[in-house]
Amino acid sequence: MSPRAIRLWAWVHKWSSLVCTVFMLLLCLTGLPLIFAHEIAHLTGKAVELPELSKAGATGPLATLDEVVAAGRSRHPDRVVQYASPDEEDARLWYVTLTPGLEPTDDFRSVAIDRRNGQVLAEPRFDQGFMYWMARLHIDLFAGLPGKLFLGFMGLLLVIAIVSGVVLYAPFMRKLDFGTVRQSRGPRTRWLDLHNLLGIVTLVWAMVVGATGVINTWADLLIKYWQHDQLSALLAPYQGQPLVPLAERAPLQQTQAAAQAHLPGKTISFIAFPGTAFSSPHHITYFMKGDTPLTAKLLQPVLVDARTAQVTVAPALPWYVTALLVSQPLHFGDYGGMPMKIIWALLDVVTVIVLGSGLYLWLKKRRQAPAPARALMRADAAV
């Protein structure tokens, strides 16, 4: 590689890294507890637990979905049921989400219901507490869609920094063995060697997490595009029809049977009710999932006519929505259970060291630079 090309790549690496470093440090620090969100919820008593029942109560018939939703609605009769879903760990526990209206909002109430007897267990608040703050800082900086897109741009800069760092790694290491940390040199040189070593070791992980993070920030836009591009065409015959009133809807149990008969072998991930962001004014949409770690993330929507309980369509998700669904759990290491979460956490800590050392090296270089021209030459040579 020519000296001019090295200087160009060094410039790209330096500035893409510097611009995104503070925000990447924030994302790494807030993402660390989110990796263990389920475990933290159980340890702190925030998770809803199913109580022990008598033998007869534990083995009796489950409450119908109509009874489950009615139990949730009874706690907030002035609100609208938007979604209902089983717990990821135990399908006997269901959550009903209610909001003031049908528009997407952060003002929601979640009611946990024991499906073994249809009783309300709790009303967990997912919009407050330490984990809520960590999640909002990690997802959108409390700034909604603009915050998501901004963090997505920072993630894109991280990907550029990784690629440019890989390009520069080969010429930098020409005279050094892999993994060399020159202990005999000054602290700045040792940190530079450690920065390069840890950066190349965590290369694949950082690229995966950075790329999936960028995709996740586009979630709202991708879903809206899917609705406009595919669902609007599929639901054209229903266009202009008003929201199906609650009194005119078929029993939920009947619509569930139709959805599961259409996709036998799959189970419910969540239910979107008429008029919500993931359904239409005329349909109850069942998002079905498989039973393996991968297929459990690849959802298949089934739109059931809310009046007749007949399946209207079960469209295959487009590739960009599938990519979104796969990237979300991969971003937090949710595929491989606790061993994968521990690996993700360790790599997250190493990435914090890489980011912190890169910022330290830049600040140290600025303090030691005797002149702008010389500082630029040393920056190009050291990166």
**Assigned domain for 365 exists:** yes
Residue 274 contacts residue 305 (beta carbons within 8 Å): no
How do residues 79-106 score in pLDDT, each as one tens digit?
A: 999 999 999 889 999 999 999 998 888 8
Beta strands 267-272 and 80-86 are: antiparallel
Residues 166 and 105 in one domain: no
Q: Are residues 156 and 173 in the same domain?
A: yes
Give the model confidence (pLDDT) of 296-350 as tens digits. 888 999 999 999 999 999 988 889 998 998 888 888 877 767 888 999 999 999 9
Domain-ending residue, one of 90, 123, 156: 123
34 and 90 share a domain?
no
End-to-end CA distance of the chain: give it in Å, rounded.
Answer: 14
Residue 369 forms part of a structural domain: yes
Output 132 or 294, whichever has higher pLDDT. Answer: 132
d(CA 200, CA 220): 33
Q: Is residue 266 part of a domain?
A: no
Mean pLDDT within 365-383: 51
Q: pLDDT, tens digit, for every residue of 245-283?
A: 999 999 999 999 999 999 998 999 999 999 988 888 999
Range from 9-13, 138-142, 306-310, 366-370 carrying the lowest mean pLDDT: 366-370
198: containing domain: 3-39+133-216+336-382
Query: Does 63 map to a domain?
Result: yes
Residue 312 domain flag: no
For residues 94 and 139, membership in a common domain is answered with no
pLDDT score at 377: 42
Supply the pLDDT for residue 241.
81
pLDDT of residue 64: 94
Does residue 160 share a domain with residue 35? yes
**Is residue 105 located within the same domain as residue 177?**
no
> Residue 375's pLDDT is what?
43
Residues 163 and 114 in one domain: no
CATH code of residue 99 = 3.10.450
Q: Are residues 211 and 144 in the same domain?
A: yes
374 and 341 fall within a common domain = yes
Dihedral over alpha carbons 29, 32, 37, 42 (to 10 degrees): -100
Whether the predicted pLDDT of 125 surpasses 80: yes
Determine contact, residues 217/148, Cβ cutoff 8 Å: yes
Q: How confident is the model at residue 373 (pLDDT cuts 50, 70, 90)?
A: very low
pLDDT at residue number 342: 92
Count of structural domains within the chain? 2
In-domain check, residue 185: yes
Mean pLDDT value of segment 214-234: 87
Q: Whose CA is closest to 13, among 327, 383, 375?
A: 383
**pTM, whole model, 2 decimals?**
0.83
* Strands across the sheet containing 80-86: 119-122, 109-114, 93-99, 80-86, 267-272, 283-289, 300-305, 311-313
- pLDDT value of position 383: 42
Q: How confident is the model at residue 45 (pLDDT cuts 50, 70, 90)?
A: confident
User: For the chain, percent helix, then strand, then coil, each to nearest 5?
Assistant: 55, 10, 30
Q: Are residues 67 and 203 in the same domain?
A: no
Q: Which of 103, 123, 143 is the last residue of a domain?
A: 123
Whether residue 300 is contained in a domain is answered as no
- Phi-psi sector, 97: left (phi>0), alpha (psi -120 to 50), beta: beta
pLDDT at 117 over 80: yes
